[in-house]
Each structure stands twice: as C-alpha cells, then as structure tokens.
Structure 1
Amino acid sequence: MAERIRVLLADDHPVVRQGLRTFLELHDDIDVVGEAADGREAVELVRELEPDVLLLDRKMPGLDGQGVLTELAGLPARTRAIVLTSVTDPRDVAPAVAAGAAGFLYKDVAPDALVAAIRSVHSGQSLFAPEALAAMTAPAAREPVAGPLTPREVEVLGLIATGRSNREIARELVVAEKTVKTHVSNVLMKLGVTDRTQAALYAVRHGLAGDSAGRDR
C-alpha cells in the first residue's frame, strides 16, 4: 500500500478549504488532517499535527503566509509547504522560496496538477507554477556565481534544492556524510551565500534544481 500523505489546509476562506478537502479526500493516498483559518493557527497545527504537506494561502489575516514560512523554518517538523495563492505578483515568489517553500502554485491550477504537486513535494521535490518559475529565472533575478562548481557540487546543490539533509544526500550519492558536509560548505562559499535556503533558491533560479530533483530517494 502506498504511503498516505497527511495534508494541512491553511486558507482564510471556508469555501476554499471545504472545496480542497472534498477533492483531496477522493484520493486514497491523501488524508486532510486539519484546517487553519489564519497563519497563527496554521503554525500551531503544524506543531501539533506534524503534517507532511501544508497547503498555504499567502494572504491571510494576522500572520500571513510569508510569516508562517518564516516560523516553520525554525521548527523541527519536516512539514513541506506549498504556497497556493490567487495573487499573481511575481515579487512574492522569491521571498517564499527563500523562507523554505517547496512549491508555489496559483489557485487556478488544475485539480489533478495540484494532487501531483502534493505527491511530488512529499517525495522531496520542489514544484513551481510556470509563472512562478519565470519570476525566479528572469534576468533581473540572476546573480553571478562566486566560483565555478564542480559536477559533484552541482549534483549536491540540486539535492539541497529538493530539501534533502546531508545524511540523505550521502545515502543518495553513496558517499560519507563528512564528504557531503565538505561539498555543501564549498557550494555555499562559491555561491557567496550563507545558508542552504539561499543555495536552494539559487538552484531554482538557475534551473539546477531539476538536475537531481527528479531522482527517487
């Protein structure tokens, strides 16, 4: 039996939450474990329920989606967030990814594509609507590489962008975890960034996330 995916819905519109729940629960591998009507409640429910995937509206009262992502980054739970928004401002995409969003979709997404996105993000991949990806890869969003990456470092960067830990990367590449730590340090130094989230954002902007993101664990 396939692993069941535990999903939390966070949206301030009850009709949207009900529609998502009704549709998602038609799928045997998805369980909607809770609903949040605002950002603060979303953070509390992530702490309490530890869902696999959070479908997160960006515009909510009180703590907005960006604030939720920021708070989730400090939690030990491995919940992966997909921003699902009706606001198509391209300036929203990069901050969301930098704060840890594993996906960014718009509410006009086809229902089957949303389910596929949930499954992909749960499996460790990152997934973005074409418009969101275009916003991150626009020429104005590009930054120079501080130093050339080796093929192995590019591979490690791609895996960082899928949310894998050093241990998971070591297992994927069949190398020692200490070796992975060295590669990660080199990647951060060469890209001129200070943490893995910024490195992952760089990978998505430059089309490097797909180099390793399509692999199975």
Structure 2
Amino acid sequence: MLRTRNLAWKVSRARPGGANAPATGDIVVGASTYGGPMSSLLTGPPSVDSTSTEVVRVAIVNDFEIVAAGLAAMLEPFTDRVEIIEVASLLEVASEVDVVLYDAFSRGRVVGPVEKTVNMTSARVAIYTWNLHEQLVAEGLANGAAGFISKAIAAEDLVTAIEQIHAGRTVVHLPVNAEQEEQATSKGAWPGREFGLTARESEVLALVASGLSNQEIAERIYISINSVKSFIRHAYRKIEVTSRSQAVLWAIRHGFVPRSARTRTKPAPDTATRPATRRPGSSPGWPRNL
C-alpha cells in the first residue's frame, strides 16, 4: 500500500493549485490485476450509474493510423456505452466529443503533441498506456490529462474507465509487472506486427525511423536506455538487418512513417461558427518539448 499512498500524494500535488486545492472530481485508482475489474483504492467514489442511457462520445488519437484503428476496433462491441465519433492521426480532433482517448504508442509523456491535444479540446483527455510510472503519471496529470488507463485491463474495464472520466473523475491505474505488460501489448494493432515485432519493438523502431537517438527515445517513451537498446536488438534480429540505416529503410518501406488521417462517423460541426475550445490559459502553439 505504500506505493499506492505515494501515488495518491503525487496525484493530489498534480491538481491545479496544489495538494490543498479542492478536487474537481474523485480520484479512482485501478487495480493492477490483469484483466480484473477496476477498484477504488482511494476516495471510494460511487460507480458510474449502470442504469444510465447516456453514450459517451469518444475520439481516438495516435500518430499511427493502424494503432488508432486497432483501439477503435476493441471498443466496437460496446456501442451501447461508447460511440467512436472520430479516429485521428497527426491531426487535431475536429469533432465534438466527451472524451479523447490518446493511445500512448510512440508518445509516452503528456508533452508536445499530446499536451497540445489536452490544451486544444474541451473534452477530457485520457492516456491509454502500458507505462504507469509514478513520475510519468504525475507529470501528465499536472499537464492536464484526466487519467492514465492501463493497457493491461480488459476492453470492458477500459469502457468503464472512459465512463468514469466522462463523469468527472480522475482515473489512474497502478503499474503492471513485466508479465502483465507482455499480455497487455499483445492486444491491438501496430506497424510490423505481421513480421513478429512486439508492440514495444515496433514503437522503438518507429522512433528510430523518425530519426531519434537512443537517448531521445528513452526520454520520449519513458524507459531506460538499456531497454531501448534491447528492443532495438530484438527488432533488428526479427527484420534481419544489422545497422540503423538498414532499419530505417526497412521501416520506411513497411509503414513505419506516420501520416495524417482522419475517420469520422458523424459530420464535423461548422468550424466557422463553432467557438474556440482551447482551455483557458493554454498556449495556442506547440509546447517546446518532446
């Protein structure tokens, strides 16, 4: 429980105004058991009303279209609870939604384009990730994220987390162990999966292809540089290359370069008459960071 209390303190400090500021919503900390139900370990907020007929409108965002589309497919069986309004890659969310679900593939921290998404939408933004390091979570909440949802949970629990966030609560899942992360990263879609690359190997290879150094990759996705080197070695072996330049060429030929794409299920509102939705006090420009 020490780790949980630690996280509770960090989450409290991440609130605007500091630890003593009034909370805008209850904090829900999810269980770390793979596939298990989300449980309240802190303030004990009531569950989302199961009799509610409101469907949460969701936009899914990631740099890679295949990743965002894979997450949308996971949520398809739950159309009575969540409606996917838009799937966007390298573009701002253009639709009116309640929750933006940002898949953290290649974007582990709430800085740069992720922070811009938080600042430029009136919707609450949840980070869907396998990296739940306490400092990473605290930084993300301080930068405006409404929650960190573990990729280790089942799809139905993901829907519940989205509903909790829409209800005004801050959802933070506990870190998972290596076995749980391996199971979590077997779900969804990513570039190079058909060649046997794991999600983590694919993520690192994509960042190699974008020109980042090993140190920059470690900082971007918040893992150790030794882990970066290990993922690169495994990826090289699987795609049968021996150098960084060969890996970059292979990645470019096999869809590892992100491109702008947007899929909507409903027409976008009239942007000429729609009021600006940027959060108060936020900068209209891109944050100067990773």
Which structure has more helix as a fraction of its residues?
1
Point out which structure has higher relative CO (alpha carbons under 8 A, 6+ apart): 2
TM-score normalised by L of structure 2: 0.38
Task: Answer with 1 or 2: which has the greater Rg.
Answer: 2
